[in-house]
Amino acid sequence: MIVKFQLSFGLDDAQANFNIHKDSVYICGSSKALGSWDLREAVELKSKVTDTCGENCSLSLSSLSLSSSSSCEVYLENLPTNVLEFEATIDLNESFEALVAESVEYKYFIAQKMSDQKDTRVFLKQIEYNPRKLELTNSSLLSYQVVDKWPLVGVDNKSTRIDHGWLLNGENEVQFHFFKYPLQLWHVEPKSLCYDIVPWKASNGLHELKDYCVHNSDFDENQIVNDKMTKFNAFNCPGVYSTYKIRTYEALSDLLFQVNVYEIDELGKPSDKYLATGYFKINRSVIESSVMEMDLSMLNSNQIVGSLKSEVLLITSLNEDSNYKIRKNYNYHFNRSCIPIGHRGMGKTFDAGTLPGTEYVENTIDSFREAYNRGAQMVEFDVVLTKDNIPIVYHDFMFCIDRLVETSSSKYLSIGVNQLTYDEVKQSRVFSQKILKNTEMTDELQHFFTSKFMFPTLKEMCTQLDPKLGFNVEIKYPLDLEDGSHEISNHLKWLNRNQYVDRILQELYACCQDEQRCVIISTFDPNLCSIIRMKQNKFPVLFLTNGVTNKWVPYKDARCKNTQRSFSFARAESLHGIVAHAEELTRDMHIINLLFSHTEKTANFLAYSWGDDLNDLDKRQQLTQLGINGIIYDRINESF
């Protein structure tokens, strides 16, 4: 059976720059002729636009383009129509009866090709979340013509999710984060500024880097209100936070970046010449730490004219072959109904406060199993790594062990989770850090809070609990606090974010091969959110937030300040949702109305909530009625 696939999309729906010279549209599906869901075997569609404007044109779908690599720019008004069209004729090598018996599914994706046509590697830029089905109705036809539009329209005539891709094997991404007023230019006060960043290869001289992919995800504090992305890479605009991302297959140690600052004219376009420029070289400290702060001197005519501050984030690829499989981007269906989620299983044990007691110790297999028996569709738990990089389920960064000699202060000694191997944890009397808060605990009760019962591995969670029980895996990572302190002692050196995440993801990949178990990942660290999002396409990533609260010292990171800003960051980064603290949600109806009105408009965006306030039945019911997707609370046996 020969099938001609035709795809068209309106320019406003493409959601990204489409470079006709570099980018291609591909189709991949369940049939062998469509690649058997392996994007390396996908079929490239032919673009009809190249017949109109030639091969060396670049099509910019944004209102501002700083690209200088193409010989001509084609804007919306210059095109014959506002629609791009692509097509491919494919012989599926199967009969009509066989294709009907086992329906063919497929997806479209956009990828940027390498300049060397012999190089089969690509940058995956956009991909459909939901698969399409090939509908065949007439057995007498020898060929079919399928006419599709991008994006795919789903239930209730809503567009389904388009993901922005992820890092493929050997690929890296460097992100520059510019927060509030990062640029200082001395003796120059232009009204509006923007920037671009040009990568160079600094190996045996300085060379132009030909193969790289650029993307930015600017957002502002009011984005949740006006639902609009910033149209350029803005500097020093109140409330604007800009991220510039460059993906490449080049060796990280060979990369040098040129940062150019431009003045914007009254038409919203950059001037022909930049006001200042600076250079940043990837060095060993960036590679070893994954995140560092940059303070760059800005030059003009070889004179220092200012300075630029930025956070630099390095994301390396996970290098899993399964990342090329695209049948189902995530092993989780985006359920719009509200689900009950057991906090640490049956709930907190050590800092439970006025909660009714439970015989199940938090974060133990028994507690998670009982939560499932009591109606939890999912359980929430924290994961940290031991010294030998075994992912275990535990809430804190520190353990307690018995002192060899008791002192008047305490009989326990605090020790970092990453200072003991897993065997040492299980063979010793290791306690939860929370035992320090309970000085009246008897020896008999202490027995239940040791490593004999606690600290299951992530592997044990996957193998010993029913596969129908979903996992909300919170990845713990120590962060800087607003008061200048840190969540752990300075002498404890944590694995860098890339190594840390890789180990946990590899364990999840190995343990969650069957798609029965729904798994989502959440974390308080916005950089960790970006890293996990770009490393894989198997598990949804949710930004976990404290919001505005007096219960804890706030995090230093600007993206964590309040729920509204956290939501804007999650949207800009194409995360799959947020886990908002109930205190701010239930206190501020303005936030909750904005959040739920926009999650309804956004395809496949999850909104969960957590916090002590949700141990109150009335507040659980309030959020449920407003449309929250999941509620994390402590005593799952109580009414939902």
Q: Which of these, 218, 552, 160, lies nearest to 336 by C-alpha position? A: 160
Q: What's the rounded mean pLDDT across residues 370-395?
A: 96
Q: Is the dihedral of CA 237, 61, 124, 472 positive or negative?
A: positive
176 strand-pairing partners: 244, 312
- For residues 210 and 115, is the Cβ–Cβ distance under 8 A? yes
What confidence tier does 514 reach under pLDDT thresholds 50, 70, 90? low
The gap between the terminal CA atoms of the chain, to the nearest Å, is 53
Rounded Cα distance, 41 and 539, in Å: 23
Lowest mean pLDDT among 134-148, 206-220, 345-359: 345-359
Name which of 34-48, 404-418, 489-503, 544-558 the model is least confident about.
Answer: 404-418
Residues 577-607 pLDDT 10s = 999 999 998 887 777 777 776 665 555 788 9
pLDDT at 55: 46
Do the Cβ atoms of 320 and 536 come closer than 8 Å?
yes
* Bridge partners (DSSP) listed for residue 340: 631
Give the phi and the psi of residue 602 in degrees, each rounded to 5: -95, 125
Contact indicator for 515, 308 with CB cutoff of 8 Å: no
Look up residue 279 and give its DSSP letter: E
571-576 mean pLDDT: 90
Which of residues 438 and 122 earns the better pLDDT score? 122
Query: 576 and 520 in contact (C-beta within 8 Å)?
Result: yes
Q: pLDDT tier at 65 (50, 70, 90 boundaries)?
A: very low
Note whether 160 and 152 are within 8 A (CB): yes
Residue 218 near residue 240, CB atoms below 8 Å = yes
Length of the chain: 640
pLDDT mean over 362-389: 96
Give the C-alpha distances (Å, rounded to integers) separating 38 from 94, 213, 265, 325, 330.
Answer: 19, 22, 46, 5, 15
Cα separation values, 343 from 218, 361, 381, Å: 33, 12, 7
Mean pLDDT (whole number) for 220-232: 57
CB 279 within 8 A of CB 257: yes
Mean pLDDT, residues 167-181: 95
DSSP string, 466-524: -TTSEEEEEEP---BBTTS-BSS-TT-PPPPHHHHHHHHHHHHHHH--STTS-EEEEES
- Predicted local distance difference test score (pLDDT) of residue 71: 31
Give pLDDT tens digits for 387-433: 999 999 999 999 888 765 555 566 778 899 999 999 999 887 788 87
Q: What percent of the chain shows pLDDT beyond 70? A: 84
> Residue 459, Cα to own-chain centre: how many angstroms?
23
Give residue 69's pLDDT band: very low, low, confident or very high (50, 70, 90): very low
Q: Tell me the pairing of strands 577-581 and 606-610.
A: parallel
- According to the model, what pLDDT value does residue 304 have? 95
Could you tell me the two tokens for 508?
A: 């999840």
- Flag whether pLDDT at 462 surpasses 80: yes
Q: Can you tell me the mean pLDDT for 210-227?
A: 76
Q: Is the dihedral of CA 568, 569, 574, 577 positive or negative?
A: negative
DSSP structural state of residue 452: T
Return d(Cα 512, Cα 521) in angstroms, integer: 13
46-55, 145-154, 447-456, 505-514, range with the lowest pLDDT: 46-55
Q: Taking a C-beta distance cutoff of 8 angstroms, is the pair 88, 43 a contact?
A: yes
How many C-beta atoms lie closer than 10 Å to residue 24's C-beta? Answer: 20
DSSP H or E segment with residue 424: helix 422-427
Query: Residue 122 burial (CB < 10 Å; 0-12/13-18/19+)?
Result: buried
Domains along the chain with CATH numbers: 2-163 (2.60.40.10), 172-316 (2.60.40), 337-397+458-633 (3.20.20.190)
Give whichever of 3-7, 117-121, 136-140, 142-146 has the largest mean pLDDT: 3-7
Contacts of 477 (CB under 8 A, 6+ apart): 494, 497, 500, 523, 524, 525, 528
Range scoring the smallest mean pLDDT among 111-125, 435-449, 474-488, 499-513 = 435-449
C-alpha 286: how far from its chain's center?
20
Q: What is the maximum span of the chain, computed from C-alpha positions, in angstroms?
A: 90
